[in-house]
Amino acid sequence: MSKMRITFRLVLFFIFFAACSPLDRVSNRDMASKYDPTKDVLQPQYIAYNVTDTSTRLFLKVSTDRILYQQNEHGLLTSNLRLSCRIYESYETNRFTDSCSMVVVDVQSDDQVHSLIKHADFKTPATKDYVLELLLTDYNRHYTQKSWLSISNHSLQSPVNYLLVNAADSIPIFSPYLSGATTFSILCRERINKELFVRYFNRSYPLAKPAFRYTDLQKFNYRSDATYKINLNNSNEFSLRETGMYHLQSDSNMLEGLTIYRFSDDYPRITQANELVGPLRYLTTSREYNKILASNDKKTAIDDFWLDIAGNKTKGRELIKIFYSRVEAANRYFTSYHEGWKTDRGLIFIIFGEPDVVYRSATNEDWSYSGTFEHGPVNFTFEKIKNPFTAEDYNLVRSSSYQEVWFLAVDEWRQGRQMDMDE
């Protein structure tokens, strides 16, 4: 055999080996940008909807104030975006089974900000769960933003088989949490019974405990506070007056279904004084927290708390900005059956900030902080909990070894030094 032929075969072998290497599987790819607001330049939103048994539609939403418009040869200001999507059967593979793409071109006619909503179709994977890798490129800006979207497709009751749209114009709704002012309709694929069971839950969930404090996982009580039926053939225009969680099912004998959340009207934003109080429990003593709760003027009590920490109003305002921007980010990233800031991932995000490295698999998320205060690297593992209401329910694997770094982190906040770390 000639030397050239042997060399050629070796090259083919190494190419094949590299393509099949488990080191490049999705679970080994850093997804930290998923939770880093500073890298969320374009702020795209995505949802997937099974139109038929074999076809899934991917929707993209992006605001025009996030896009760079440039003048073309005709003197018009135009966008130049492209979305590329790869479909992986699981986190444990490095091979995508299908792909789709779309070009987003928009001509700017005025300065009014609006949302661009586009879609592309792909063949629905045969597996129960799959992962979408999404690359949105703004060619005018020379910038590409990567996102990941996990899809559960276990049965006809899986959320991907339903789509919420605005009742007035049928524009897709990209968020599972709605305000009381939103009037919406429900689309569902063929073969789904148009008579849906609605289970309503009006619960108050406790805050996440510190990372070093072991907690017994409380079994969720699936007994709903109210149950009723809706028939989409008779009426398909709804609004949510009462706060709580609404779970829609075509088969009440199964747990899975579409879940809609109704928190405050401005959620995930924090706009009311009473909403500012709860997250402070992560930093305050019981005495401090109860004093704020008992205050008739909670806004002033909260301002006084931050002023005492910061030492002056300017630094106090900056600390408030950092803290509550993390609270709102936690709501955007980690909302499950309760507000994102109450979850374990929300807790760690608020106290420690965005992680440096994130790895995600089908069963857990691993967060790494390279250098935390004087403690050195810190790693947190969150185990995914099987939950029929959401695919975003994760519990922190707690350990007494976190006690030192936890108190160091809280002390950074209470000494007003967190501002310096975020610069």
Q: What's the pLDDT at 397? A: 96
- Neighbour-count burial of 138, counting CB atoms closer than 10 A to its CB (0-12 exposed, 13-18 middle, 19+ buried): buried
Match 């002033």 to its residue by tokens.
300
392-401 pLDDT, tens per residue? Answer: 999 999 999 9
**What stretch of H or E contains 135?**
strand 129-138
How far apart are the C-alpha atoms of 93 and 220, rounded to whole Å? 32
pLDDT band at 332 (very low <50, low <70, confident <90, very high): very high
How far apart are the C-alpha atoms of 25 and 44, rounded to whole Å? 24
How far apart are the C-alpha atoms of 410 and 375, rounded to whole Å? 13
Domains of the chain: 29-193 (2.60.40.3880), 273-422 (no CATH)
Burial 390-402 (b: 16+ CB within 10 A, else e): bbbbbbbebeeeb
pLDDT band at 12 (very low <50, low <70, confident <90, very high): very low
- Neighbour-count burial of 134, counting CB atoms closer than 10 A to its CB (0-12 exposed, 13-18 middle, 19+ buried): middle
**In this structure, what token pair is assigned to residue 142?**
């020379």
Other CB atoms within 10 A of residue 21 CB = 11
Q: What's the pLDDT at 6? A: 47
Residue 8, pLDDT > 50, answer: no
**Least trusted range by pLDDT, from 9-23, 178-192, 236-250:** 9-23
Residue 23, pLDDT > 50, answer: yes
SS3 label, residue 393: coil
276-291 pLDDT, tens per residue? Answer: 999 999 999 999 999 9
How far apart are the C-alpha atoms of 268 and 334, rounded to whole Å? 10
Average pLDDT along the chain: 89
Residue 1, pLDDT > 60, answer: no
Q: What's the pLDDT at 37? A: 86
Residue range 11-25: mean pLDDT, rounded:
52
pLDDT band at 4 (very low <50, low <70, confident <90, very high): very low
Q: What's the pLDDT at 7? A: 45
What share of the chain in percent tops pLDDT 90?
73
Q: What's the pLDDT at 266? A: 93
Q: What's the pLDDT at 388? A: 87
Residue range 118-134: mean pLDDT, rounded:
91
351-386 pLDDT, tens per residue? Answer: 999 999 999 999 999 999 987 667 789 999 999 998
Q: What's the pLDDT at 420? A: 42
Q: What's the pLDDT at 2? A: 52
Residue range 246-274: mean pLDDT, rounded:
91
Residue 14, pLDDT > 60, answer: no
Q: For 345, phi and psi rounded to 5 degrees?
A: -65, -35
Q: What's the pLDDT at 423? A: 43
Residue range 401-417: mean pLDDT, rounded:
91
Taken in order 310, 315, 320, 322, is the CA torsion positive or negative? negative
DSSP-derived pairing of the beta strands 364-372 and 70-71: unpaired
Q: Could you tell me where the DSSP H helices lie in 270-363?
A: 273-277, 286-294, 298-310, 313-334, 344-352
SS3 label, residue 54: coil
How far apart are the C-alpha atoms of 187 and 185, rounded to whole Å? 7
Is the distance from CB of 249 to CB of 196 less than 8 angstroms? yes
Of 102, 103, 110, 119, the residue nearest 65 (C-alpha):
110
Q: What's the pLDDT at 219? A: 72
pLDDT band at 419 (very low <50, low <70, confident <90, very high): very low
pTM of the model: 0.89
Residue range 105-126: mean pLDDT, rounded:
91
138-177 pLDDT, tens per residue? Answer: 999 999 999 999 999 988 889 999 999 999 999 999 999 9
Tell me the chain's radius of gyration from C-alpha atoms: 24
Biggest alpha carbon–alpha carbon distance for the chain: 89
List C-alpha distances in Å: 171 to 43, 94, 174, 348.
Answer: 18, 34, 9, 35
Q: What's the pLDDT at 345? A: 98
**In this structure, what token pair is assigned to residue 205?**
């969930």
Q: What's the pLDDT at 22? A: 62
